[in-house]
Amino acid sequence: NAGVTQTPKFRVLKTGQSMTLLCAQDMNHEYMYWYRQDPGMGLRLIHYSVGEGTTAKGEVPDGYNVSRLKKQNFLLGLESAAPSQTSVYFCASRPTGRSVGNQETQYFGPGTRLLVL
């Protein structure tokens, strides 16, 4: 199993450009997440999905859109990049747990480093 993979590893954008970050997992996990991490800080949740065709907002969703057309893929889009979106983006996935007390852990990808000039 490759686990969670992210494409691309690094990207430089100019302000106003658009791009899509791809996250793929081969573990048949239901839940997927997009986080961003700014220097010296912990991760902040952007959007997440609890299953194919569903998405929900996290802590910092503004300026981002997401789609989950296939169970194994979770796409993060920046329609008009801004310098404030310079960050490292991490994707994660975990299996579903529908009962109170579920204990599934999240599996993280290696990250995408994005620089917006």
Partner 1 sequence: DAKTTQPNSMESNEEEPVHLPCNHSTISGTDYIHWYRQLPSQGPEYVIHGLTSNVNNRMASLAIAEDRKSSTLILHRATLRDAAVYYCILRPTIYNQGGKLIFGQGTELSVKP
Give the interface with partner 1 as residue ranges (CB under 8 A): 4, 31, 33, 35, 40-45, 48, 50, 56, 58-59, 90, 92, 94, 97-111
Helix, strand or coil, per DSSP, at residue 12? strand
8-state DSSP, 85: G
**Whole-angstrom distance, CA of residue 80 vs CA of residue 32:** 23
Q: For partner 1, which is the closer residue by CB, 15 or 96? A: 96
The answer to whether the CB of 72 falls within 8 A of the CB of 58 is no
In angstroms, what is the minimal distance from the CB of 38 to partner 1? 11
Please compute Rg for the chain using Cα positions. Answer: 14
Q: For partner 1, which is the closer residue by CB, 59 or 79? A: 59
Q: For partner 1, which is the closer residue by CB, 85 or 93? A: 93
In angstroms, what is the minimal distance from the CB of 116 to partner 1? 20
Q: For partner 1, which is the closer residue by CB, 14 or 98? A: 98
In angstroms, what is the minimal distance from the CB of 17 to partner 1? 25
Helix, strand or coil, per DSSP, at residue 116? strand
Helix, strand or coil, per DSSP, at residue 83? helix
